[in-house]
A = this chain, B = another copy of it.
């Protein structure tokens, strides 16, 4: 799929270079999507932004939908690297939940994407458009809330949080931090502070 037409047998080096190009184009697609929406991610726009040919991008991705799916994967990888991976070195239970929530707030208030949280922008854009892109976004969202609920459940087993439905608390944190993301993009700092107070209250015993 990444083999250029008319090329000689691909070397490992060329495959590696193609994978790097693909990843960096997908990452830029996620940046564009955070501001313009995933429907603003076009092969022409990316070619102009990155100074590469449209045919080069078309060869790597094939279709707009495949490019959108690659942007979703790139957005997910940033979230995992920034928020989830560091938590694996933290003590399980409440310290890990607090670490996840702290980094999630940083992800929202000092966003890696120019338009704020990629997931929030893309999920709201696609929630009424059935298809593979919506499915990928919903699966990413579910995986995150499931992971968070598992960690909340461990904190509850430790007695560090009141016994309650861990999925409900994960949903509530997601709602509040998603609202903080919108507030941040609108420059409403007082609401970010409110979201932080609510999250602190939800995570106190």
Q: Hey, which bits of chain A sit against chain B, CB under 8 A?
A: 34-37, 39-40, 114-116, 120-121, 123-125, 127-129, 134, 138, 165, 167-168, 171-172, 174-176, 178-179, 182, 185-186, 188, 190-191, 194-195, 197-198
Contact = CB atoms under 8 A, between A and B. Distances in A.
Please classify the interface of chain A as helix (H, G, I), strand (E, B), loop, or mixed, using the class held by over half of its residues: helix
A172 B165 CA distance: 19
A171 B185 contact: no
Given A125-B37, A186-B127, A179 B168 contact: no
Contacts of A36: 39
A53 B185 CA distance: 37
A186 B167 CA distance: 17
Copies of this chain, how many?
A: 2
Contacts of A129: 35
* Best-surrounded residue of A127, A178, A194 (most CB of chain B within 10 A): A127
A135 to B, nearest CB: 10
Contacts of A125: 37, 121, 124-125
Nearest to A115: B128
Nearest to A134: B186
Contact of A35 (B35, B115, B128, B178): B128
A37 B39 contact: yes
